[in-house]
Amino acid sequence: MRWLTASLIAGSLAAVSVPAKVHTPPQAARSAIILAYHRFGPSSPGMTTVKTSVFASQLQFLHDNGYNVVPLRDVVHYIEGRGELPARAVTITADDGHKSVFTVMRPLIERYRYPVTLFIYPSAISNASYAMTWQELKQLQATGFFDIESHTYWHPNFRVEKRRLSASNYRKFVTWQLDKSKEVLDRRLGKGVDLLARPYGIYDEQLMAAARQAGYLAAFSIAWGRVSQRTEIMAVPRILVTDRDVGRAFGSLLAEGRRPIPAAERGSRN
């Protein structure tokens, strides 16, 4: 994802250096937190890049503190009423298809053996310099840890397109983005794609209806909150993970489903 409103990370705390194993409040068995990553690297030049060392510490935190990392498909089944979730359930997702998913995320995920869902917009694959190739996606799929799903065909901003296009052309454009992504991913990877991550987290009633019509079982946004059986399945919240989410800050994010508001900011709102 190339752009996100700064309000998504408002209230982020500065990194706190603490041992990995810290006390966190028990979480309800019937809920889950979905984490959304994008890219990884030795430094963090932007809000959607997480340093390799920070990502490694986050995975270690999940391992040391008794979190159950479950496939996204299990969360979908739970929302549908077709399954249960373990206590302290967490799901890992990553958007866009950046090369660092293959070079950085893959070896760490294989070490911990955690399931991951990748949301891919196919127009970039084997085309954009920052993106993975189809062969790399197939290698990830072959590990058994990575499920590959749709992020539309070229990651449009639907708010912009809705203003730019006529109502009729906008409907056609949305349908094409949803259908084309599924068709290409299915053909290239030999699987049935039925989950959708919404570009920039944007959704409304029209976009939710279009996703259902295109055959998607669930769609995911970017928002605070835990996932329960009351969650709207076409607007499931995922929490954007940043480079500041380490130690107790990461623990608070997992426990509360949002970042705490710093005291200084709370005072400014009074």
pLDDT surpasses 90 at 23: no
Residue 267 is predicted with a pLDDT of 41
CA atoms within 13 A on the CB side of 84: 4
* Percent of the chain whose pLDDT exceeds 90: 82
Distance CA 155, CA 128 (A): 13
All structural domains of the chain: 26-260 (3.20.20.370)
Q: What is the mean pLDDT of the chain?
A: 88
Q: Is the model more confident about 258 or about 198?
A: 198
Residue 6 is predicted with a pLDDT of 35
Residue 262 is predicted with a pLDDT of 55
pLDDT surpasses 70 at 268: no
Residue 27 is predicted with a pLDDT of 41
Q: Are strands 89-96 and 68-69 parallel, antiparallel or unpaired?
A: parallel
Distance CA 135, CA 158 (A): 30
Q: What is the mean pLDDT of residues 126-135?
A: 98
The closest alpha carbon to 100, from 129, 77, 74, belongs to 129
Residue 207 is predicted with a pLDDT of 97
pLDDT surpasses 50 at 17: no
pLDDT surpasses 90 at 25: no
pLDDT surpasses 90 at 220: yes
Q: What is the pLDDT of residues 113-130, one digit of tens each?
A: 999 999 999 999 999 999
Residue 28 is predicted with a pLDDT of 42
Residue 261 is predicted with a pLDDT of 61
